[in-house]
Structure 1
Amino acid sequence: MSYNTYLFDFDYTLANSEKGIVMCFEKLFKQYNYPKQSTTAIASTIGLSMPKAISILTGETDPVIIKNLQNAYRKFSDIHMTPNTFLYPESIPTLKKLKTAGYNIGIVSNKTAHRISQTLNEAKIDDLIDIIIGTEEAKEPKPSAKPLIQALNHFSINAASALYIGDSTIDAQTAQNASVDFAAVLTGQTGKKDFAAFKCIKIMDSLSEL
């Protein structure tokens, strides 16, 4: 397929923010007296919308309580997230290669756009990304098709012109819902066999294979 636009998930695709996310959740659990969760349990929620992740890890279902916990988490995140988020070694070379070749590049994530921007700014690569669709911009969180469709509309392109790259079945489902081709990268918590239910044009060990 010939694409003119490459859209990426962020957590576990371009960057590993597991340390920061685990740290923030541990502080949240301690402050509000929730049972401690394992790193594996917390990591398994990375990529979900924050309300859903909080609900899974705390057992809460009341939207008001979840919103309050989300606000508390954000305060921890303001301090701990960006210093504990690390771009994968392949990310910058891949983005530079695509940008030099003239492709459109975007990020579509369930993370907040301003948090993603902080990592990009620190790495001095914010100029490589044309648009970030995060939780503030998205009309609905992934796996809804809407965030990807927003990115397509930004570039005034159709679905066949874009490739979405992500690490999870949530990303694969998002691409499928938007009728966008999908390439999986195995740098997250999702194994190759887990993508069997989805149409993947490629399954990569790292972004260097893109």
Structure 2
Amino acid sequence: MKLYKVYLFDFDYTLADSSRGIVMCFRNVLERHQHTGITDDEIKRTIGKTLQESFSILTGITDADTLEAYKKEYVKEADVHMTVNTFLFPETEEVLTRLKTCGAKIGIISTKYRYRIMELLSKKLPSNFLDIIVGGEDVKEPKPSPEGVLLAIKELGCNKEEVLYIGDSIVDAETAQAAQVDFAGVLHGATTREELSAYSHVEIMKSLSEL
């Protein structure tokens, strides 16, 4: 794989495993509203989508006000449970450090709130280690809209040809496609190699170490 000048990463299931916290928060909200029979795997399959989309998929609810209310309840749950139940993948710190040593710029594009990402990474990485973090509160349209990636490209002053976007899900593959940047998939999450391979990619990796 060629060396890029900019590496933009998804967060959940790409750099970190937050599935324990995510499942816990979803389950607390779902059970509070008597939504039963939903498996952990079904919840994990929605990781990467917006909270409203995820709740709609899991419950069948389409009413915008109800979905917004569930989102707000989830955020309150996440304030308590998310960071303590999120762990970087074993290779994450080493890979990011090596990329920085090679002179690359590093960023994160996520539907997760920026402050939540920073809360976790502040305990793991030096301050100002990342060149940019674009969270869900920083864009008008969530992934797979290219807005977040294009914002990072503009802020970092680079060309699309110099950028690799790395993610674990179909949403990430579609985001890279919409932004017209190269995509590399990583098989940390619930999405299969076959599902990711259906999209244009430079690599489908078992772990970030292959970067």
Q: TM-score, normalised by structure 2?
A: 0.96
Aligned-pair distance for 1:126? 4.5
Aligned-residue offset at 1:2? 4.6
Asked if residue 193 in structure 1 is aligned to residue 194 in structure 2, the reply is yes
Q: Which residue of 1 aligns with 2:150?
A: 149
Q: Counterpart of 2:102 in structure 1: which amino acid?
A: A
Secondary structure (helix, strand or coil) at the match of 2:30 reads helix
Partner of 1:173: 174
Tell me which residue corresponds to 1:43. Answer: 44
Structure 1 residues 47-126: aligned runs within 5 Å: 47-126=48-127
Preserved contact between residue 14 and residue 88 of structure 1 (Cα < 8 Å): yes
CA distance in 1, matches of 2:154, 2:37: 42
1:140-171 alpha-carbon deviations (Å, 9 max, x no partner) = 10001111101101111121110000111110
**CA shift digits 1:110-136 (9 cap, x unpaired):** 111111111101223443211111110
Once the two structures are TM-superposed, the CA of residue 196 in structure 1 deviates from its matched residue by 2.5
1:54-106 CA distance string (max 9 Å, x none) = 11112211111111110011110000000000000110001111112221110
Report the residue type matching 2:198 in the other structure: A
User: 1:172 Cα deviation (Å)?
Assistant: 0.7
Distance 1:124 1:103 in 2: 16
In structure 1, distance between residues paired with 2:203 and 2:80: 37
AA matched with 2:159? N
Q: Aligned-pair distance for 1:36?
A: 4.0
Match of 1:163 in 2: 164
For the residue of structure 2 that corresponds to 1:163, the secondary structure is strand
State the secondary structure of the residue aligned to 1:45.
coil
Partner of 2:16 in structure 1? 15
Contact 1:29-1:36 within 8 A present in 2 as well = no
Q: Which amino acid aligns with 2:36?
A: P
Q: Displacement of 1:139 after TM fit?
A: 2.3
Does the 8 Å CA contact 2:93/2:125 hold for their aligned counterparts?
Answer: no
Q: Retained in 2: the 8 A contact 1:26–1:36?
A: no
Normalised by the length of structure 1, the TM-score is: 0.96
| Structure 2: gaps of 5 or more residues | none
- The change in CA–CA distance for 1:57 and 1:126 in structure 2 (over 3 A counts) is farther
Distance 2:189 2:46 in 1: 11
Question: Residue 141 of structure 1: SS of its match in structure 2?
Answer: coil
Tell which deviates more after alignment, 161-170 or 27-36: 27-36
- 1:4 paired to 2:5: yes
User: Quick check: 1:172–1:198 contact (8 Å CA) kept in 2?
Assistant: yes
TM-superposition CA deviations, 1:19-75 (whole Å, max 9, x none): 000000111012222224110010000011111011111221111111111001111
Gaps in structure 1 of 5+ consecutive residues: none
Deviating 4+ runs (over 6 angstroms): none
Deviates more, 1:122-131 or 1:66-75: 122-131
Q: C-alpha distance in 2, partners of 1:124/1:145?
A: 27
Aligned length: 210
Contact 2:144-2:172 within 8 A present in 1 as well: yes
